[in-house]
Every structure is written in C-alpha cells, then in structure tokens.
Amino acid sequence: MIYPSSTKRIAGLDALRAIAVLLVIKTHWGPQQFRTSAALTFIVKYIFPSGDAAVDFFFVLSGFLITGILLRSKQSSASNWGSLKTFIIRRSLRIFPVYFLFLFVLYAVNYTGIREHLLYYVTYTSNYLTFNQKLFNSFSHTWSLAVEEQFYLAWPILILFTPNKYLFKCILATIVLSTLAHVITEKLYGGFAYLLTINCFNAFAIGGLYAFALQNKSYLAPLKRTLLFLLPIAVALYIAHYFQITPVPLRLVHAIIALALIMRVTGQKYSRAEALIFENKILNSLGKISYGIYLFHYVAPYYYNQLLSYLKVDKTSSWFANLLYQPLMSEFIQFTFVVSLSYISFYVFETQFLKIKDLFKYKVKRAEQG
C-alpha cells in the first residue's frame, strides 16, 4: 500500500499562482509609468502588488504545500530517511527537467550572462550571484528558484527529523529568526539582502505553520485568530511601505497577506465574486503552467526585439511596424508566445517526467498496509 504525496489539487490555488505570475510579468515588463494617465500610473505603482509580493506568495504557498506533504509522510511512512529520499526524487523530477533543458538552450545560443555564470545556475545558487554582484543580469529572476531549491534541501530535514512535540516551536523560531536576519542584513547590505536564503525562510515557515495547524487541529483556531488580528496590521504596513511612510519588514507583511489568501482559498467556500476569480478556468489553466511562464518570461523581450531587428522592422517604416513596437501590442505578442511555449512545455515535455515522478510513492508502515 502507498501513501499519497499530496491532497487533491485545489483550483483556487492555481488561480492565485496565475495572478502571482502575472504580477511578476507586470513588474518585469512594465511599463510602470504612463505619461498620458496619472491615474493609471497610480494604479500600477500603488494598487497592483509588486513582483516581490508575488514571489513571496510563491514562497508561502511552497511552504504550505511542501510541509503538508512532509507531515503526512512523517505520520505514516515507514522511514523518515525513505521519505526524504522520495521527496528529493519527486521534487527533482518536477523542477529540474524543464529548467535544465531551458538552461542548455540558452547556453547553446550564448544568451547573455549564461556561460559566464553557468556554475551558479547549474547549482541553484544564482541568488548569491545577484547578491554578490549587486546587479540584475539577464537570467537573474531565477534567484527565487534557487531559494526554493535551497529550501527543499533544508526544510525536509527540519520537518521529518524534529520530534513532533517541538515542531511548532521550531517553525515559530524559524519565522522570528529569519525576520530578524532580514532586518539586520538589510541594514548591512541594503535591498539586495532580500535575496539571501535565510531571509526568505520566514515566508516558507508561515506557510508551513498553516500546514502544521491543519495536521494538528488544536492549533488551527488560535492560528486563525492570530491571523485575524495581524492581517489589518499587515495591510496597513503594506500601504505605509508603498507610500514610503515608514520602513517595514516587507516580506513578513507579504507573507501574512499571502497566508490569508491561501487560507481563504483552501476553505473553498467562496462568495459569488470570489468564485469568478478562484474558479476562473483561464486563471486555473495559467496556474497549472505558471512554472514555465515564470521560467520563460524574462527572456521574451530580448528575443522579441532581436527578432524585429533581424527582420529589419523599423517602427518608422509603416503604421504596422510602429504597432509592433507599441508596449501593449509587443507585450501581448510576447505573452502569447510565453503562454504557448509554457503550455507545450508542460503538456508535451514536463508531463513525461510527472509520470515517472508518480512511480516514486511515500510508502507506509507495515502495520498500515493491506
């Protein structure tokens, strides 16, 4: 008998994934300001969450999902070491194939920055590349993927091998220590401290705290009450930060808001307005391929402009050529390409490895077999 690695897929979480990756694209592609519309500039700059908030959401969601998998495995598995091995294999089969294929393609075409810093990308340490150089290069958005992989190495050891009676305190300690580390390192290194792995663990741990509470019901009601108290404070601090009123522990603020969204979605009791978002088939579909969208989107503007240059499309030559350079049209074309590529990648390439992944199951204790 085998033990399932995860619960049934929740469509609302895919909708949140889609919204998050769209916010990342909005931040990376722009525009952030509109000369002809002060109102639109205000909305984009202050109302829409930033790409950083979206990445922090992904961290919280990973913490929630991965901790849930590990706790269920820990409860029923025959061996914690066996669970650790199975977890690493399954995560590798989900994350590595398309990442390394894309990296190989970029290396082959000599995409800017890849060959010079290949070791960082191969070892998933590109967050330290960006931190050490204090600059963003052509593939720097993979810093968050690097942090995720580092999380996948450290977090399972904590969850699987910490005695259950100490686990809640360990998760809380991770939140506190990570937040303190972020505050301290930001004073020393400025905004680039945002990329350090230790400074990201509070977001992962906040998601993990919810997964722990779902497995240990006595903690669920206190967690909900605490969140109900903290959420308006987090929203107020979020507003204060974006209007530059006061410095705040921004990732912690993002994580609290993200947790509220995840808890709302996992409850699956939506209002009619919420259902239009969380049960939206387009968002659900985009969420399923959001990993590919995130991975591919950053290089799209470069190759779009390269293509126009290769075709010698001069925006002054005709109204159609000029249209191809207009921000909305060019981004629509690029987005269509990225989504199409991500769709093909997922359903043609990635699913082949997901089938292999399904061969590696978390095995239960002998007493529970049969």
| 370 CB burial (10 A radius; 0-12, 13-18, 19+) | exposed
Residue the block writes with tokens 């969850």: 159
Whether 294 shows a pLDDT value over 90: the answer reads yes
45-88 pLDDT, tens digit each: 777 888 999 999 999 999 999 999 999 999 888 789 999 999 99
Token pair listed for 57: 């959401």
Record the pTM. 0.93
CA distance 367 to 2: 12
Among the listed ranges 9-18, 224-233, 265-274, which one has the minimum average pLDDT value?
Answer: 265-274
- Averaged confidence pLDDT in the chain: 90
Residues 61/262, Cβ–Cβ less than 8 Å: yes
Helices 51-76, 80-108: axis angle to 10 degrees equals 150
Whether 4 shows a pLDDT value over 50: the answer reads no
The set of residues, in sequence order, having a beta carbon less than 8 Å from that of 325 and lying 6+ positions away, is 308, 315
| Overall average pLDDT of the 98-104 stretch | 97
Number of residues that this document lists for the chain = 370
- What pLDDT shows up at residue 5? 41
236-247 pLDDT, tens digit each: 999 888 877 777
Q: Which of 57, 116, 62 is nearest to 91 (CA)?
A: 62
Residues 260/235, Cβ–Cβ less than 8 Å: no
Structure confidence at residue 308 as a pLDDT band (50, 70, 90): confident
138-184 pLDDT, tens digit each: 788 999 999 999 999 999 999 999 999 999 999 999 999 999 999 99
Structure confidence at residue 324 as a pLDDT band (50, 70, 90): confident
∠ at Cα 236 (261, 54), nearest 5°? 40
Helices 11-29, 250-267: axis angle to 10 degrees equals 150
- What pLDDT shows up at residue 114? 93
- What pLDDT shows up at residue 32? 66
Q: Is 123 helix (H, G, I), strand (E, B) or coil?
A: coil
Provide the CA 237 distance to its chain's centre, in angstroms.
22
What is the number of other CB atoms lying within 10 angstroms of the CB of residue 330?
Answer: 18
Question: Where in the chain are the domains?
Answer: 2-368
